[in-house]
Structure 1
Amino acid sequence: MDRVGDLALFLRVLDLGSITAAAHSLDLSVAVASQRLKRLEKELGVRLLHRTTRRLHPTPEGAALAEQGRVLVEELETLGAGLREAAQEIAGTLRMTMSASFGRQYVSPRLPAFLARHPKLRLSIHLSDNVVDLVSEGFDLAIRIGALDDSRLVARRIAPNRRVLCASPDYLRRRRRPRTPDELADHDCLLLFGSGGRQDVWRLGTPTGGEVAVRVQGRLESNFGEVLRDASLAGEGIVIHSLWHVADDLRAGRLEVLLPDYPLTTTAISAVMPQRRLVPPRVRAFTEFLIEEFGDDPPWERGLPC
């Protein structure tokens, strides 16, 4: 039962002096308005109105309900108006989670500019390479890299995530540079692992448009990309890296791209949010900001030879 709506109708009847006038003002039929008033009286167990020849008047119980109920209705109307206004305003706290390396390297330096645009907004940033449950952890947004599996989430692509095989010049001097994917099996490879286990099967495209899978091995593995980057710079082996992670190393010659004719599948950097009918303006604003900053020509790819 719509108790608040029925109460608002009762108050309108008192203000306008008739059920007919109140019904017309609320775009209701007189019959429906009368039924709703009877329903309210039945639920409360008291008579609320009595008629004179010219006007409806409240009973003592009706007058008491009007006195206390008007405050309630007005407070609810004020709350509703405030929520509608807030729904159009970029304010409140935006809670988000993202890859520690990507967040520190590319998102963190851009946060002051975003905050300057939206002075009523607060940010709460969680940096972790672990995939957290947005719903149970109460996050508005996640920035995720790679394939997405959770069907409860809605994703919007922010930028491409191109990946490359690379190694340091020192490693390549000591070990033969691989010429085909099959030769990777004879090299020291640096392996990433996560919730899906060790990623020791590398899938590469072929010049003819096919795919080849190679099982690789090595002496070092980690769930944190920074560890693998440090190891590759130190000459410990061949590694798969996202371009955003090693772009500066490639430009400076600290790492070299291998097997360019056998590309790795490009995935995406995505803004991921729980399924909602209405996306909060703060989430929409930050997603648009990142697309504006990165997009199809992300800054880490500019000027790269690969």
Structure 2
Amino acid sequence: MDRLSDIALFLRVVDLGSISAAARSLDLSSAVASQRLQRLEKGLNVRLLHRTTRRLHPTPEGLALAEQGRDLVEGLEALTQDLRGRADNVTGTLRVTLPHSFGRQYISPLLPEFLNRYPRLDLDVGLSDQVVDLVGEGYDLGIRIGILEDSSLVVRRLADDRRVLCATADYLDRHGTPQRPGDLADHECLVLASQRRRQDLWHLTDKQGQSETVQVSGRIRSNQGELLTDAVLGGLGIAQHSVWHIHEHLSSGRLKVVLPEYRLAETGIHAVMPQRRLVPPRVRAFVTFLEERLAEHPVWR
């Protein structure tokens, strides 16, 4: 067990970037933490960390231990906490990456309640619209919206992601209201840019199940959904948006649904996790919490 606890300490050092920070998080003195790391290196007969004046960096051997040892330590942690069966055993640091707009709008307001429920848990949250390498970046969990491409991840669907075409009444008064999908080719369409797939091909399906694909274009392309929201609210064109993103503007009448008799492909909001034999209790607790809270939100209820 000493070897496993030393590996757990090493992982905490890698995550936090310093021995002193890792020691504080584990209620150890820096001296004891340093001694245990030296013991681990001596036992494995390899150097695990490059020590500089500002930060510690894992050696190639340290990176290998971090990648393979994390599953071992977390699997043991999950097993022992499952056996104890107590909610107050949800401990440690939960590292989560969230899409920027969705994370700020829906997840951030829930975090105080979640942390009050699990007072022994720490959170490390990153907001990014880029697809993050969960394993390489050391994340326990990611929230992803849309079509998933990485089949090596464990996926849990949290909610539906219904999308609509929308514009302001002013824009539609000036340029006319599209009556069928083909009309979109003659309009200013605000396009979400992506390096992974084409976003200028909009697929719509009518009530009889007949699908039509239209190539659209416009003066604005962006990889940031909030910029497109500002643009569509400014009357600059027609945008494709998730209902969760713009439901308040739809309810207030600031935005109108375009081609309401057609639907866009419905995708999902997912929790994704690295493949593990046992999912750590902190991860399961967070996923269950999000499932409960999103199901209660009017947008999805």
TM-score, normalised via structure 2 length = 0.71
Question: In the alignment, which residue of structure 2 is the partner of 1:194?
Answer: 194
| Maintained 8 Å contact 1:192/1:198 | no
Q: Distance in 2 between matches of 1:248 and 1:124?
A: 29
Structure 1 pair 82–155 and aligned structure 2 pair: CA distance change class (3 A): closer
Taking the TM superposition and a 5 Å limit, the aligned residue runs for 1:229-268 are 229-268=229-268
| Maintained 8 Å contact 2:161/2:268 | yes
Q: For the aligned residues, what is the CA RMSD? A: 1.9
Question: In the alignment, which residue of structure 2 is the partner of 1:159?
Answer: 159
* Overall identity of the aligned pairs, in %: 55
Q: Which runs of 4+ in 1 moved over 3 A?
A: 80-88
What secondary structure is seen at the aligned counterpart in 2 of 1:300? coil
**Larger Rg computed on CA atoms:** 1
TM-score, normalised via structure 1 length = 0.70
The one-character-per-residue Cα deviations of 1:117-151 (angstroms, maximum 9, x if unpaired) are 00000011100100111011110000100110101
| Maintained 8 Å contact 2:202/2:216 | yes
Unaligned runs of 5+ in 1: 5-79
Q: Distance in 1 between matches of 2:76 and 2:145?
A: 39
Q: Which amino acid aligns with 2:187?
A: H
Question: In the alignment, which residue of structure 1 is the partner of 2:121?
Answer: 121
Q: Distance in 1 between matches of 2:300 and 2:241?
A: 13
| Maintained 8 Å contact 2:159/2:300 | no
Structure 1 pair 258–226 and aligned structure 2 pair: CA distance change class (3 A): same
Taking the TM superposition and a 5 Å limit, the aligned residue runs for 1:162-241 are 162-241=162-241
What secondary structure is seen at the aligned counterpart in 1 of 2:104? helix
Count of aligned residue pairs for this structure pair: 223
> Deviation at 1:198?
4.3
Q: Distance in 2 between matches of 1:242 and 1:232?
A: 13
Q: Distance in 2 between matches of 1:226 and 1:102?
A: 10
Structure 1 pair 277–85 and aligned structure 2 pair: CA distance change class (3 A): closer
Q: Distance in 1 between matches of 2:280 and 2:90?
A: 8
> Deviation at 1:207?
2.1
1:150 aligns with 2:150: yes
| Maintained 8 Å contact 2:77/2:280 | no
The one-character-per-residue Cα deviations of 1:146-180 (angstroms, maximum 9, x if unpaired) are 11010110110000000000001111111100010
Q: Distance in 2 between matches of 1:288 and 1:86?
A: 16
The one-character-per-residue Cα deviations of 1:260-286 (angstroms, maximum 9, x if unpaired) are 111001110000000111000010010
Q: Distance in 2 between matches of 1:124 and 1:300?
A: 27
Q: Distance in 2 between matches of 1:154 and 1:161?
A: 19
Question: In the alignment, which residue of structure 2 is the partner of 1:101?
Answer: 101
Question: In the alignment, which residue of structure 1 is the partner of 2:135?
Answer: 135
